[in-house]
Amino acid sequence: MLKILFLLFPFIASAQVVEVNPLHSTLKFETLVTKTLVILKEHRTTIGTETYNSIVSGKVRVDEFSDFTFEDYKHFLIEFSELVSTNKLTLEDYSTLQNPNSTALKIIENTIQGFAYGNRIYINVRDHTPLLLASTLVHEVNHVLNQSEKVYYRGPRQAFREEYRAYYVEALFMEQDLWDPRFCRMLKIKVLGLVNDTDELNPDEFPDKPDGKLIPSLINWGYGV
């Protein structure tokens, strides 16, 4: 009976999320995502409900790190090049990702909570609670909405703009103190540390409210304009 339920579960979840690799799924992923979508759908913020709409409509695809496409895995290694330079990850490790005991998968899970490229989002199913995943999806959907990968790798300034916007909308979702300039400055300083700033960017040169698209609404996706 359990085996039958497991086989049916991906078909139930497929009505809610389009996976990157529809031929491979895990019960842990399906359960986590289903609970997370309930949080987003019922959230009192516009950004929460619009993130839900963006996912269930298929505008973004969501999957776990073990389902990286080979090309997206290569982009991950480019962004986190220190994992390659220290010999922690190689291109050859890609073939091991769907092994539950994969060392490479554990390294990725220890590094990030989510990763977006194109219209594809990959998530950490090991460390996420449904609420934390909801916040991560708000963050990653914003990267997809703004096509961050097209400018992210041009330098620290561009990377900062893309990351600050994504962390800003996370704070918007969590209803944090974005009205307070001190909170926004602390958020900028946090992001500057994450993007390996080598240009010594000044957080005060960037506006508290970032440029680009914030809410993944139909208009911002390019519908109804």
Q: Which of 42-56, 74-88, 134-148 has the lowest mean pLDDT?
A: 74-88
Average per-residue pLDDT in the chain?
90
**Structure tokens that stand for 183 in this block:** 């909170």
- On the question of pLDDT at 113 being above 70, the answer is yes
**Structure tokens that stand for 218 in this block:** 């139909």
Element holding 64 (H helix, E strand): strand 61-64
Using pLDDT thresholds of 50, 70 and 90, give the confidence band for residue 3: very low
Q: What is the mean pLDDT of residues 170-181?
A: 96
Q: In what order do the strands lie in the sheet with 61-64?
A: 61-64, 120-123, 114-117
Using pLDDT thresholds of 50, 70 and 90, give the confidence band for residue 223: low
Using pLDDT thresholds of 50, 70 and 90, give the confidence band for residue 197: low
**Structure tokens that stand for 32 in this block:** 């986590």
Distance CA 211, CA 164 (A): 10
Q: Read off the DSSP letter of residue 21.
A: S
Distance CA 15, CA 11 (A): 7
Query: Residue 123: what are its φ and ψ, rounded to 5°?
Result: -125, 160
Distance CA 150, CA 75 (A): 12
pLDDT at position 7, please? 43
Specify the higher pLDDT residue, 119 or 199: 119
Distance CA 49, CA 82 (A): 36
Complete DSSP assignment for 186-204: HHHHHHHHHTT-SS---GG
Q: What does the pLDDT look like over 202-222, one tens digit per residue?
A: 999 999 999 999 999 999 998
pLDDT at position 152, please? 85
Q: What does the pLDDT look like over 28-65, one tens digit per residue?
A: 999 999 999 999 999 999 999 999 999 999 999 999 99
pLDDT at position 6, please? 39
